[in-house]
Amino acid sequence: MTDAIRPIGMPKWGLAMTEGKVNAWLVADGAEISQGDEILEIETSKITNVFESPVSGLLRRKVAGEGETLPVGALLGVVADAGVSDAEIDAFVEQYKQHQAEAASEDAAPEPVMVEAAGWTVRVLRMGPEAPDESAVPLLMIHGFGGDLKNWQFNQPDLAADRAVYAIDLPGHGGSSKTLDGDGSVAWLAEAVRGAMAALDIDRAHLVGHSLGGAVALQMALDEPVRIASITLVCPAGLGAEINAGYIEGFIRADRRKEMKATVEALFADPSFVSRDMVEDLLKYKRLDGVLAALQRIADVSFPGGRQATVLADRLDGLTVPVQAIWGAEDRIVPPAHATALPQARRHVLPGAGHMVHIEKPAETNRLIGEFVAFTGG
């Protein structure tokens, strides 16, 4: 395969994704596209999202048609220099399809594992090179209230190109222990994550924390900065007292599809991101033994009276760890104005995105995280 011809393949968004449907092409044949341009709308059983081009150049051929459902990795289109002949592209397409069929029978997607950490069982998903450069400090991703490691499905694969990237489930969430043996506070959750790092033999890590996970990451950096290389806060709690208490209460209370859908739509600037399967998955999770009690305890301690109990903004002057914040301009859960607690150069407010900015704007979020991690070293 020549460098003058570059494939665009069906992405893998999340552990459960095995195929995707091409809903629409957003660019024309022959268009000049750049890496990060929105070129396709792809539908999966979990979510419909815009696919951003992984390469730059001329879109010489659309291999996948609108309405076609294809497996992960299947060839969607071909980008090639103007001087490449149609015959060369034909040969490339056939070679790619052969290679993809062989790879599908050999490659297995990474699966989460369970580890024992400080008295609780934690589910963790590792991505990245099996033997990464020893100088590449690993990255640890911490989800928010009511979420799980799958919330990073659009981010973890990209960020794992050159280092180990771990996504974990907090206590009470995902596949981790549902019975809390602590008070459920931000400080206790931070201690639980440190236990997970020890169980995974992670001495030092870059942290990415979303929402409540952002407050947890910030608490960890204040408690034990020597173990934290940098922090990226994604729509974080912990920088101000205000929070959408109605969302927290609604998420815990919702036990029917219609209620849950209306509640979760508040997370996105574009409510079409909320699919039927996403809602069903959340309802199934909430029906597991111990989940409601765990969520209620965390909410009672972290958000008493509809306010954030842990506000760390006044401690930032003493923070020795590099920190940046990424916010969706239309966040209806945690006010984007809280970003002003950080210096101008370290805050990024992205238009057209809500509280789940890392899902609605994955390419921009991944770029900001990747550049910050590289800038801070390791």
Domain ranges across the chain = 5-106, 113-376
Phi and psi for 213 in degrees, rounded to 5?
Answer: -65, -25
How many residues appear in the chain? 378
Q: How many CB atoms lie within 10 A of CB 335?
A: 17
The topology under which CATH files domain 5-106 is OB fold (Dihydrolipoamide Acetyltransferase, E2P) (2.40.50)
User: Please, what's the b/e burial string for 199-216 (b: 16 or more CB within 10 A of its CB; e: otherwise)?
Assistant: bbebeebbbbbbbbbbbb
Three-state helix/strand/coil letters over the chain: CCCCEEEEECCCCCCCCCEEEEEEECCCCCCEECCCCEEEEEECCCCEEEEECCCCEEEEEECCCCCCEEECCCEEEEEECCCCCHHHHHHHHHHHHHHHHHHHHHCCCCCCEEEEECCEEEEEEEECCCCCCCCCCCEEEECCCCCCHHHHCCCHHHHCCCCCEEEECCCCCCCCCCCCCCCCCHHHHHHHHHHHHHHCCCCCEEEEEECHHHHHHHHHHHHCHHHEEEEEEECCCCCCCECCHHHHHHHHHCCCHHHHHHHHHHHCCCHHHCCHHHHHHHHHHHCCCCHHHHHHHHHHHHCHHHECCCCCHHHHHHCCCCEEEEEECCCCCCCHHHHHHCCHHHEEEECCCCCCHHHHCHHHHHHHHHHHHHHHCC
Q: Which residue has the tokens 């490659």?
A: 107
pLDDT for 282 equals 95
pLDDT of residue 117: 82
Single out the residue of 200, 202, 204, 197 nearest to residue 229, CA to CA: 204
Predicted pLDDT at 71: 86
What is the per-residue pLDDT for 239? Answer: 96
How far is 153 from 125, CA to CA, in rounded Å?
11
What pLDDT is recorded for position 99?
A: 74
- Return d(Cα 104, Cα 8) in angstroms, integer: 16
- CATH number at 113-376: 3.40.50.1820
Q: Which two tokens stand for residue 31?
A: 């268009």
pLDDT reported for residue 142: 98
One fold for 5-106 and 113-376: no
In sequence order, what are the residues at sequence separation of 6 or more whose Cβ sits closer than 8 angstroms to the Cβ of residue 121?
A: 114, 115, 176, 177
Copy the structure tokens of residue 364: 């921009």
- The reported pLDDT for the residue numbered 345 is 82
* Amino acid type, 260: M
Mean pLDDT by 10 residues, the chain (378 residues): 77 75 92 90 82 89 90 89 89 82 60 86 91 83 96 91 94 92 91 93 96 97 96 97 97 95 96 89 94 96 96 91 96 96 91 96 93 89
Provide CB contacts within 8 A for 276, sequence distance 6+. Answer: 257
The pLDDT score that the predictor gives to residue 1 is 42
User: How high is the pLDDT of residue 108?
Assistant: 59
Q: Return the closest-CA partner of residue 180 out of 190, 189, 171, 170.
A: 171
Distance from C-alpha of 300 to C-alpha of 77, rounded to nearest angstrom: 50
